[in-house]
Amino acid sequence: MTARKDISGLITQMTLDQKISLLAGKNFWETQEIPELGIPSLKLSDGPNGARGAAFSGGTTAACFPASISLAATFDLELAYKVGKALAEETLTKGANVLLGPTVCPHRHPLGGRNFESFSEDPLLTGRLASQYICGLQDQGVGATIKHFAVNEQETKRFTMDANVSEKALREIYLKPFEIAIKEAKPWALMTSYNSINGKHADANDVLLQKILREEWGWRGLCMSDWGGTNSTAESLNAGLALEMPGTGRYYSQRAIQGALASGKLSEEVIDQRVTEVLNLISVTGKFEHPEIIAECAVVNPEHSRLIREAGAQGIVLLKNQDGILPLHPKSIKKIAVLGLAKQCLAHGGGSASVNAHYKITPYDALEKTLGTATKLLYAEGAHMHRTLPVLAENLADLQGTAGLTLTKYSLDNPEKVDAVSTVQTSRYMSLGQAPSSKVIIEGTFTTKETGHHQLELSSIGVATLCINGELIMSAHGGTADPVAFLQGNSEGQRCFFDFKQGESCAIKIELKPEANKSGLLLLNGAMGVSLGMMEQSMAERDLLTPAVEAAKDAETAIIFVGNTTAWESEGRDMKTMNLPADGSQDRLIDAVADVNPNTIVVVSTGVPIAMPWLSKVKAVVQTWFPGQEAGNAIVDVLTGMVNPSGRLPVTFPRRLEDTPAYENFPGNMDTLQVDYAEGSFIGYRHYDHHPVTVLFPFGYGLSYTTFEHSNAHLACGTDAVYSGSASEFIASIDVKNTGDSSGSEVLQVFVTPPASLTNSRTQRKLVGFAKLHLEAGEAGSASIAFTRNEFSEWDEGSSRWTVPGGEHVVEIAISASKADVKASFKILTDREDLTSKL
Catalytic residues: 226
CA distances 189 to 88, 567, 765, Å, are 15, 30, 32
Q: Which of 276, 179, 147, 178 is nearest to 221 (CA)?
A: 276
- Count how many residues are written for the chain: 839
HSE (side-chain half, CA atoms, 13 Å) at 73: 38
HSE (side-chain half, CA atoms, 13 Å) at 763: 18
Give the Cα separation of 314 and 83 in Å (integer).
Answer: 13
Find out whether 203 and 239 touch, Cβ atoms under 8 Å.
yes
Q: Which residues contact 167 (CB under 8 A, 6 or more apart)?
A: 795, 797, 800
Q: b/e for 19-28, b at 16 or more Cβ within 10 A? A: bbbbbbbbee
How distant is the alpha carbon of residue 393 from its chain centre?
Answer: 30
Secondary structure letter of residue 775 according to DSSP: E
> What are 733's strand-pairing partners?
714, 784
How distant is the alpha carbon of residue 769 from its chain centre?
Answer: 24
Give the Cα separation of 264 and 654 in Å (integer).
Answer: 53
Cβ count within 10 A of residue 759 = 5
Cβ count within 10 A of residue 724 = 11
Phi, psi (5° rounding) for residue 67?
A: -65, 160
The H-assigned helical ranges of 291-375 are 302-314, 363-371
> What are 551's strand-pairing partners?
none
Find out whether 112 and 661 touch, Cβ atoms under 8 Å.
no
Give SS3 for 750: strand
> What are 494's strand-pairing partners?
458
The H-assigned helical ranges of 408-544 are 483-487, 537-540
Strand segments, DSSP code E, in 107-225 are 143-149, 162-164, 189-192, 196-197, 200-201, 222-224
Give the Cα separation of 601 and 598 in Å (integer).
Answer: 9
- What's at 502, amino acid-wise? Q
CA distances 130 to 23, 42, 51, 259, 789, Å, are 27, 23, 17, 40, 21
Burial of 148 (0-12, 13-18, 19+ CB in 10 A): buried
Strand segments, DSSP code E, in 529-686 are 529-535, 557-563, 600-605, 620-623, 653-654, 674-676
Give SS3 for 136: helix
Q: What is the largest CA-CA distance in the chain?
A: 89
HSE (side-chain half, CA atoms, 13 Å) at 175: 21
DSSP 243-274: BB-STT-STTSHHHHHHHHHHTSS-HHHHHHH
Find out whether 600 and 593 touch, Cβ atoms under 8 Å.
yes
Give the Cα separation of 22 and 16 in Å (integer).
Answer: 10
Secondary structure letter of residue 209 according to DSSP: I
Q: b/e for 702-720, b at 16 or more Cβ within 10 A? A: bbbbbebebeebbbebeee
Give the Cα separation of 628 and 346 in Å (integer).
Answer: 8
With both helix axes pointing from N to C terminus, report the angle between 77-93 and 123-138 in degrees, rounded to the nearest 10.
Answer: 40
